[in-house]
A and B are shown apart, each in its own frame.
Chain A
Amino acid sequence: MSPVESDEEDLTRKQRREQARAERKAMEEAEAAGAARRTRLTQLGVVAAVVVVVVVVILVATGGGSKSAAPKVGSTTANKAAQTVNALVAGIPQKGNVLGSPTAPVTLQYFGDLECPICKDFTLGALPTVIQKWVRPGKLKIEYRSLETATREPETFKLQQIAALAAGNQSKMWNFIELFYHEQGEESSGYVTEKYLQGLAQQVPGLSLASWTTDRNSATFANQVASDAQAANNAGFTGTPSFLLGKTGSTPSKFEFSSLTDASSLNAAMEKLLG
């Protein structure tokens, strides 16, 4: 064997050794990388599983909407609500959907959905002050108009709104809607049933249930619901509560309460309008 051949052989052996080492190293690295990836995937899986479990628990705990929170007629809550409402509107003229003197110089149109919780916050928050300060002294009248937002079923929306308007035929609509808001159930829980509406009607002092039941079939009220929706659409309203305010008889402008619980923005607007 020539020295050159021996050198070549040595080189090849060396190369083979290096190659083997490199392969071993690559394999070890691949194994390590594989193990690390498996660990990471496990950690990701654990985190994701925990999150799924927690979300399901929250969903179950916060309710799928099976509870009916509406108070029973004759219960302490219902009686208290009836007392509050009577104290608020008693002695104030009512006609149809209007609360307040027919000759009041300013008119506020209140677009609401009886199942809307924000309308409830407003009705129980800022509205009593508005009624006491402006409606009772005859300076403002409020027209309640309907716009479907929170109520899931259009049929239910129509049913409850017509029930309110039918009470208006006996000049008791505001008692009915105030009671509705005071005793409002959990949103989308399906609490608005015939029994619930009857229960509210029974709490309105002096309401003839027989006439109310007959009036609920009147086409006039169904038309009124449709014309309210049209008016809301014309004004560009998509949410509730929404308001139009202006001098009685003139074209009203959009009005926004700065807070659901504070009437100061309306007070300022009223003072300006009454100038």
Chain B
Amino acid sequence: MSARALRITLLVLAVIGLGIASYLTYVHYAGIKPACTAGESCTKVQTSIYSKLAGVPVALIGLLGYIGIVGSLLVPQGETTRLATMSFTVVGFGFSAYLTYRELFSIHAICEWCASSAGIMTILMCLSVWRFLRGDDPSLGTGPAHLGQNAGHESSATLPGAY
């Protein structure tokens, strides 16, 4: 996968996650029930004691996390920004894992919005860790970090040692 395609994939996923977190934050503050196909499960999760961490709604924490991920993907890319994206997603994954544990073993209900976000965060983490470890190998002359004209589709796809 070319650096450009990878970054765009990450960005699209992060924007979807941002949308979900925005909706759940809105639902939390508006005091309305989230749209849910699984009966009252979402409301149950959203209104449980675990829906806040130190008084801050977890939906808002998620929203801030996704803003961080999107932000780190929009600035000019380099080693530091890839480290930032990777760190945000690893933190996000840890947080999602904690929330999923609470849903399964404490609340006994699964909120589909939260599960979708957790799934997206897992993919984001895998991709951004891969992207971070793969790094930017100047010897290959592809400049995978340059998203502009030079990062051609055909070039990096055929590169040896892309990992």
Q: Could you tell me if A55 and B135 are in contact, using CB atoms closer than 8 angstroms? A: no
Contact string, A41-61, partner B, CB cutoff 8 A, digits 1/0? Answer: 101100110011011001100
A92 interface residue (CB < 8 Å to B): no
Q: Could you tell me if B40 and A238 are in contact, using CB atoms closer than 8 angstroms? A: yes
B98 interface residue (CB < 8 Å to A): yes
> What band does the interface of chain B fall in when counting residues whose beta carbon is under 8 Å from A?
35 or more
Contact string, A29-73, partner B, CB cutoff 8 A, digits 1/0? Answer: 100010011001101100110011011001100100100000000
Q: Could you tell me if A55 and B97 are in contact, using CB atoms closer than 8 angstroms? A: yes
Picked from B40, B83, B129, B135, the residue with its CB within 8 Å of the CB of A118 is B40
Contacting A at CB under 8 A, from B29-52, are 31-33, 38-41, 43-44, 47-50
A205 to chain B, nearest CB (A): 30
A228 interface residue (CB < 8 Å to B): no
- Considering the complex, give the chain A residue whose CB is closest to the CB of B161: A33
Determine the main DSSP class of B at the interface with A. helix
A253 interface residue (CB < 8 Å to B): no
Picked from A43, A62, A121, A239, the residue with its CB within 8 Å of the CB of B41 is A239
Q: Could you tell me if B98 and A149 are in contact, using CB atoms closer than 8 angstroms? A: no
A8 to B72, CA, bound (A): 57
- Considering the complex, give the chain A residue whose CB is closest to the CB of B132: A40
Picked from A29, A43, A237, the residue with its CB within 8 Å of the CB of B83 is A43
B51 to chain A, nearest CB (A): 10
- Considering the complex, give the chain A residue whose CB is closest to the CB of B129: A44
Q: Could you tell me if A55 and B107 are in contact, using CB atoms closer than 8 angstroms? A: no
List the A side residues contacting B149 at CB < 8 Å: none
Q: Could you tell me if A47 and B53 are in contact, using CB atoms closer than 8 angstroms? A: no
Of the listed stretches B9-17, B18-26, B85-93, B152-160, name the one at the interface; the rest are far from the partner chain. B85-93
Q: Could you tell me if B94 and A51 are in contact, using CB atoms closer than 8 angstroms? A: yes
List the A side residues contacting B108 at CB < 8 Å: 149-150, 152, 188
List the B side residues contacting A152 at CB < 8 Å: 108
B94 to chain A, nearest CB (A): 4
Chain A residues with a Cβ under 8 A of chain B: 29, 33, 36-37, 40-41, 43-44, 47-48, 51-52, 54-55, 58-59, 62, 65, 116-118, 121, 149-150, 152, 186-188, 237-242, 256, 258-261
| Cβ contacts A to B, 26 pairs, < 8 Å | A36-B135, A37-B135, A40-B83, A40-B135, A43-B83, A47-B86, A47-B91, A51-B90, A51-B93, A51-B94, A55-B94, A58-B53, A58-B98, A62-B53, A65-B106, A118-B43, A118-B47, A121-B47, A149-B44, A149-B108, A150-B107, A187-B106, A188-B108, A239-B39, A258-B32, A260-B47
